Each structure stands twice: as structure tokens, then as C-alpha cells.
Amino acid sequence: MGSGEWVLLLAVALFLMLLAYAYNALARMRNVVRGAWSDIDVQLKRRADLVPNLVETAKGYAGFEQTVLQEVVRARSGASAGQMGPARRAAAEEELAARIERVIAVVEAYPELKSSAHFMRLQEELSETEDSIANARRYYNAAVRDFGTMLDSFPLGLVGLAFRFRKAEFFSVTDPVERRAPSARMDK
């Protein structure tokens, strides 16, 4: 083999190594995004699992507005329905958060319920869950941003196109109720 053939072989080997590096970097980041989405999903499920306890606790108090409870149950069903992308899931979760906040607001008219140890524990769990959802959403959106930046950069973007990597959707919140993070804590 002549020196020209060695140079060509070295150039091809270098190109393949860079291609493998770029592909692996994109695959790793895609997995970070998927893992971050899974973290959001876990927190949203935790909130949805608290809703039946909230409804049952409130049902126990005579005169509690049944339509409010029905709305929160309906919103929970919508948020838990099948596989949804981040945009549809965000809309469903915004609706659920708004309904939960409405239940908590209605509780003001029921001092016995408001002071119930079980209800207070549920409020604390909901508040902690909302904080966890906000943290998971920030992490997910940062991972989506970083992945998108990788796909927009050179040469990773070319590798991304060649191997059909797609940008992920942000999990964004547009509802002002969710933007201020519904609080389940109440002044005593």
C-alpha cells in the first residue's frame, strides 16, 4: 500500500469515528429527553392519583358542591387518557390543575373540611407534587432545548438528518392558573 492509500484509509476511519461519535451523542441526548419525559409522567400520575382521595374526602362533607367534584374527576380522566404528546398532555394537565385549584378554593366555605387532618395532608401532598412537576418540567424543557440545539448545529444536524432524529416538543404551560403553580396550602 502506498502512502496515498494510507491517507485515504486514515481519512475514512476518522470520518467513521466522527460519525459514530455524533450519532452516539444524539442518541444519548434523545434518551435524556425520553427519561426526562418519563419523570414528568411519574409526577403527573402522582397528582392524578391524589385526585380520588381529594374527591372522597370532600364528598364526605354535606353540601359540598358536587359539580366541582365531577369537573375534577372529568379533568383527571382527560389527563390520564392514553398516550399524548407533550402539547396535548400540557393542555389536559392545565385543565386538571385548574379544577384542583377550584376544589381547594371551594373548601374555604367548609371550615370542618378545611381543618380536617386528612384534607390538610392531601393539600401538603398536592403542593409537594406541584413543586415536583414544575422541577421535572424545567429539566425536561432544558433537555429538549439542548437536544434541539444539537440538531441545529453543524455537523450534528447533518447526522441527525441522515438518521432521522427529530426534535422533541416542549412541555409548555399557557394557562395562567398553572403558571403560578396551584397552591394546595391554605392559611389557617
In tens, the pLDDT along 52-88 reads 988 888 877 756 778 888 899 999 999 988 788 898 9
**pTM (predicted TM-score):** 0.83
Outline where the chain has alpha helix (H): 3-59, 66-79, 86-106, 111-114, 117-152, 156-162, 176-179
Give CA–CA dist 155/56, Å, rounded: 56
- CA angle in degrees (0–180, nearest 5) for 186-182-147: 150
On the CB side of 120, how many CA atoms lie within 13 Å of its CA? 9
With bands split at pLDDT 50, 70 and 90, how would you rate the model's confidence at 113?
confident
Structural domains of the chain, ranges and CATH numbers in brackets: 3-179 (1.20.1440.20)
Query: DSSP letter at 77?
Result: H
Q: What residues contact residue 55 under an 8 Å CB cut-off, 6+ apart? A: 69, 72, 73, 103
pLDDT at 185 over 70: no
In tens, the pLDDT along 130-183 reads 999 999 999 999 999 999 999 999 999 999 999 999 999 999 876 444 444 455
Q: What residues contact residue 147 under an 8 Å CB cut-off, 6+ apart? A: 26, 29, 30, 32, 33, 167, 168
pLDDT at 186: 45
Q: And the C-alpha cell for 94?
A: 392545565
Polymer length of the chain:
188
3-class DSSP state of 108: helix
pLDDT at 15: 96
Q: What residues contact residue 43 under an 8 Å CB cut-off, 6+ apart? A: 129, 132, 133, 136
Give CA–CA dist 184/50, Å, rounded: 12
